A and B are shown apart, each in its own frame.
Chain A
Amino acid sequence: MGLTDALRTSTNSLSTYSNVLSTVSRNITGVNNADYSRRNVEIGSDSLYSTKALVTREVNISVFKASIDASSKLATTQAMADGLNQIATLQGGDNFIFAPTTMLQTLRQSLELAAADPSSEMALSLSVGNAREFASAINTSYQQLLNERQNADASIASNVTKLNELLDRFNEANSKVVIAAQSGGNDFTSEDTRDALVSQISELVGVSVLRRDNNDMMLVASNGAVLFDRQPRAVNFEQTRIYGANTTGNAITIDGVPITGDGAGFPVTTGALAGQVSLRDKVIVDQLKQLDEIARGAIEVFAETDQSGNIPGKSPMAGLFTWNGGPAVPASGSLVSGIAMSFRVNELVDPQAGGDAKLLRDGGINGDADYVANSTGGPGFSDRLFELIANMDGNIQFDAAAGLGSSYSLTGFADASLDSLHTLRSEMNDRATYQGDLATHVRQTLREQTGPNLDFEMSALLQVERAYQASAKVMSAVDSLLGRLLDAV
C-alpha cells in the first residue's frame, strides 16, 4: 500500500462524504415538508479501500396504510356531517325555528288563541297567518333540500374531475419511479409525490395499494374496482344540474361500471365521494320524503268532513291547507312525491288572498254548506278550532317509505323527522371527531417516523464536515509527503 493508495482512498471518501452531505442537506430542506420522507444514508465498504454512501428512503408501509385508511373514512364521515350540519342550519340551528315541528307548535298556539276568543277575526287571521308561514317554510325547506342535492351532485362532479387529475399525476410519478427502478436507480422525489397522491386519492375514494415488481403500484378502490393498473382508469360521472322531486342522480362509473348507487354490486363505502353520494341519494331524499309526508298529513288533518249527517256523506275536502290536486284530499298513508312544493294555505280562508278567516272557525272553507260545522253561525263557536287542535295529535297513517314508520300524529311525525335528522347528525359529528382524532394521530405517527429531524441532520452535518476535513487533511499530508519525495529526487 503506497501513498497513491492513500490518496485514492481519501479522494474516494471525499466523494462519499459529499454524497452524504447532499443527502443531509436535502433532508434539512425537507424538514418542513409534510410529504417528505427522510433519506437514510449509510456508509458501507465498496471494495477494499473505498467506501460508498448507500441512500435509502424511510418507509413504514403499515402506518402509511393505516393513514390512508383513516383519511378515507374521515372524508366519508366529514362529507355526511357537513351535509347534515347544513340541513340543520337551514332549519334554524339551535332554535329550530324553521323545523316543521316548531312551526306546527306555533300554529297550534295560535289556534288555541283563536279558540279562546273565537269571535275575534284578528285571532283567526293570525292563525291563518301562522299556517301560511308553516306552508311557506315547508315549500322553502323542500327547495333548499333540492338545492342541497344539486350541491352534493356538483361536489361529486368536481371531485370526480379532481380524481381523474390525481390519477394522471399518479401515473406520471409512478412511471418515473418504475423507470428509475428498472435502470437500477431510485427516484425518491417521485416516490414522495406518489405517496402524497395516494393520500389525496384516498380522501376521495378509499383505496388499497398493491406493490409490484420495479416498485410499481396498483390502486384498487375499497369495493375492488381497479383505479390504476399501469394506466389510470377513466372515472366518469355525468352531473345533473337541476333536481326536481323525482330526479335520480347519476352513478359514478369506472370504465363504464357503476361503483355507486343501486347499479353497483358492491358500492364504494369510503372516501368523500361515498359520503356525498349517500347524502345525495339517501339522507336528503329521506328528508324530502318526510317533508312530503308532513305536507300531505297536514292537508289530511286539517281537511273538512261532511257535517250534514247524510248517508253516504260526501268525501272529505281540503280545509286550511290545500295542494295542486285540491280540493280533493290526497290518499291517506301513501307518499305523494313533490306535494310539499304545491302545499299552501287555502286561498278561500286566507284574508291576504281575499279569503275569509272566519271559515277556519265555522268550517265549510270550500264553499259547500254541508261542510259547515257551526250550523247556527254564532261567533262564539270554538268546537271546530278545538277539533283541529285535537286532530293535530290524532294518529293518522304515514307512508313507511319516508323511513320513519307509519302510525304517527302529524306533530309526532314532525318530531320523529327532526329526531331522525339529529340522531344521524349527532352520530356523524361524534364519528367525525373520533375519526378526525384517529387520522391526525396516525398521520402524526407517520410523520414522526418518516420525517427528518433538524437536530439529527445538523449533527450529521457536523460529523460529515469533520470527516471531510479529515480526508482533506489526509490528502494534504500525502501531498506534502509526495512533495518531499519529489524534492529529494
Chain B
Amino acid sequence: MKLDFVGTYAFNRSLQVNSAGLQRELSKVQTELATGRVADIGSALGYQTSRSVNLEAQIDLFDQIKSFNGVLTNRLTTMQDAMNSIVDGANGFMGEMGAAIGGHMDRSVLQGFGDKLLGTVTQFANATFNGEYVFSGVNTDVKAVIDFQGADWDAAKQEIEDAFQAHFGFASSDAQAATITKTDMETFIDGPYADLFNDTNWNQMWSGASDRGVRSRISSREIVENPVTANDAGFRKVVSAGVLLQFMAGTSAGGNALNAAAESAMTQSANGLNDLANSQGRLGVIEQRVSDAQDRIAIQKNLLNEQLNSLIGVDQYEVATRLNQLVINLEASYAASSKIQSLSLMNYL
C-alpha cells in the first residue's frame, strides 16, 4: 500500500535539488561565455594544465622577440647606413686623391684630404643607437674610433713620431726628413707604420671596440652575433690611410716621400673599401636572418594561438546554445515546482 506514494519531503526536495544543479551549471556557462575559455582550466585540463600556462608564456615570448627583432633591425639599418657613409667618404677621398697624385703635392691639400676622411670615419664609425656605440662590439659604452683631436690623438701621433724616429734616426720635423727617398718612405709605411695598426695596437691606440659582437636572440632557438665591429680590416685601413696623410703633411718630408705616402693612402683606402664591402655583406646576411626569423615567429605564434585555443577555448555558439537550453530547463523546473506545490489534497478538503 506504501508503493503508490512518495514521501512528500523527498517529492518537494527533488525540485530543489534539480534547480540547484541547473543553477550551478548556468553560472559555469555564463563564465565560459564571458571569457571564451573553459570555466575551470585546472580542473578541465588536469595533467595538461601546464601546457596552457606554457603556451601563453611562449606566445608572450614570441611577442617579445618580435619587438626585439624590430629593434635589432633598426640597429642593423643604422650600421648599414653608417657604413654606406664611410664608403661614400672613402670613394670621394679616392677621387680627390687620384686627381692630386702625380702633380705637385701641396701639404695643406693632403692635410685637408686626411682631415676630411678621418672626420667622416669618426662621425659614422661612432654612430650610436639607443646610446650605444654600434661598432664597438660588446664594449657598447666605448667609442669605436678615437676622436682625431685631444689627448688620444696626441698620444697616437707621439707613437707614430717615435716609430718615425726609430726608423729614420731623426725627428719628422728635422730638415733631414726632406732627403727621405720614395723607397725609404715605402719601407717605413709598410713596416713600422703598418705595425701601429696591428691587432694589439689598433685596440690600444685607435679603437675601444671588441672583437666580439653583441649577441641577440632572433627566434626561440637562434642566437646571432653581430659580425661587424670597428676592428674589421676595412675600418682599420681607411683610418690608417687618413692618419698617414695627416701625419706626413705635418713632417718635413720632401715631394717624393709625400708622393709615396699619398699612393699608399690610395691603396689602403681601396683595400679598405673592399673589406668594408665584405663587412656590409656579412651584416646583410644577419639582416636577412632577422627578417626570416620574424616571418617564422608570426607563423609559430599563430600555431601556438590555435593550440591554446583548442586546449582551453570554448565554442561560443555551442555555449550560447547550452545557455539557452539551461534557461529553458530552469524555467520549466520553476513552473513545475509551483504547479506541484499547489497540488495538495489540503486545498480540496
Interface residues of A (CB under 8 A from B): 31-34, 36, 38, 40, 58, 88, 94, 96, 99, 101-102, 105-106, 108-109, 112-113, 115-119, 376, 378-383, 386, 411, 414-416, 418-423, 425-427, 429-430, 440, 444, 447-456, 458-459, 462
Contacts and interface: CB of A to CB of B under 8 A. Distances in A.
Given A415-B54, A419-B50, A117 B130 contact: yes
Given A31-B8, A379-B139, A115 B217 contact: yes
Contacts of B217: 112, 115-116, 386
Contact of A101 (B13, B54, B223): B54
B8 A453 contact: yes
A426 B44 contact: yes
Given A99-B53, A118-B214, A459-B345, 14 more contacts: A34-B9, A105-B57, A105-B60, A112-B64, A112-B217, A376-B138, A378-B138, A382-B214, A418-B50, A419-B46, A421-B42, A422-B43, A422-B49, A448-B11
B99 interface: no
Contacts of A108: 57, 61
B335 interface: no
B215 interface: yes
A109 B6 CA distance: 64
Contact of B10 (A112, A381, A420, A448): A448
Contacts of A31: 8-9
A110 to B, nearest CB: 9
Contacts of A109: 57, 60-61, 64
Interface string B1-44: 01001111111011001000000000000000000010011111
Contacts of A427: 46
Contacts of B139: 376, 378-380
A319 B53 CA distance: 27
B5 A456 contact: yes
A419 B61 contact: no
A93 to B, nearest CB: 8
A112 B65 contact: yes
Contacts of B57: 102, 105-106, 108-109
Contacts of A106: 57
B13 A444 contact: yes
A381 B141 CA distance: 11
B8 A451 contact: yes
Contact of B14 (A40, A119, A430, A444): A444
Given A105-B57, A418-B53, A425-B43, A451 B10 contact: yes
Nearest to B5: A453
B42 A447 contact: no
Contacts of A419: 46-50
A114 to B, nearest CB: 11
A419 B48 CA distance: 6
A458 B349 contact: yes
B89 interface: no
Nearest to A91: B42
Contacts, number: 175
Nearest to B37: A94
A378 B216 contact: no
B212 interface: yes
A452 B54 contact: no
A448 B43 contact: no
Interface residues of B, number: 52
Given A378-B210, A419-B47, A458-B349, A40 B2 contact: yes
A94 B141 contact: no
Given A379-B140, A380-B139, A447 B71 contact: no
A94 B217 CA distance: 31
B45 interface: yes
Contact of A454 (B53, B61, B71, B345): B345
B224 to A, nearest CB: 11
B138 A447 contact: no
25 contacts: A94-B37, A94-B40, A96-B41, A102-B53, A108-B61, A115-B217, A118-B214, A379-B138, A379-B140, A380-B132, A382-B216, A415-B50, A418-B50, A419-B46, A419-B50, A420-B47, A422-B47, A423-B47, A427-B46, A430-B43, A444-B13, A447-B10, A448-B11, A449-B7, A453-B8
Contacts of B214: 118, 380, 382
A105 B43 contact: no
A418 B41 CA distance: 12
Contacts of B342: none
B202 interface: no
B242 interface: no
Contact of B215 (A40, A376, A379, A383): A383
B245 to A, nearest CB: 32
Nearest to A426: B46
Interface in B302-336: none
B8 A454 contact: yes
A102 B51 CA distance: 11
A119 B136 CA distance: 13
Contacts of B6: 448, 451, 453
B137 interface: yes
A113 B45 CA distance: 31
A452 B140 contact: no
A116 B7 contact: no
B49 A32 contact: no
B10 A116 contact: no
B151 interface: no
A98 to B, nearest CB: 12
A423 B46 contact: yes
A113 B64 contact: yes
A379 B141 contact: yes
A455 B345 contact: yes
Contact of A444 (B17, B49, B349): B17
A238 B65 CA distance: 56
Contacts of B41: 94, 96
A105 B62 CA distance: 13
Contacts of B45: 422, 426
B137 A380 contact: yes
B93 interface: no
B345 A458 contact: yes
Nearest to B17: A440
Given A116-B71, A119-B132, A458-B345, A453 B47 contact: no
A116 B216 contact: yes
A109 B139 CA distance: 24
Given A108-B61, A378-B137, A32 B9 contact: yes
Given A453-B6, A454-B344, A116 B49 contact: no
Contacts of A420: 47
B307 to A, nearest CB: 15
Given A115-B217, A447-B13, A451-B10, A416 B50 contact: yes
A456 B139 CA distance: 96
A230 B143 CA distance: 95
B68 interface: yes
Contacts of A414: 50
User: Which of A34, A452, A454 has the largest number of chain B CB atoms within 10 A?
Assistant: A454
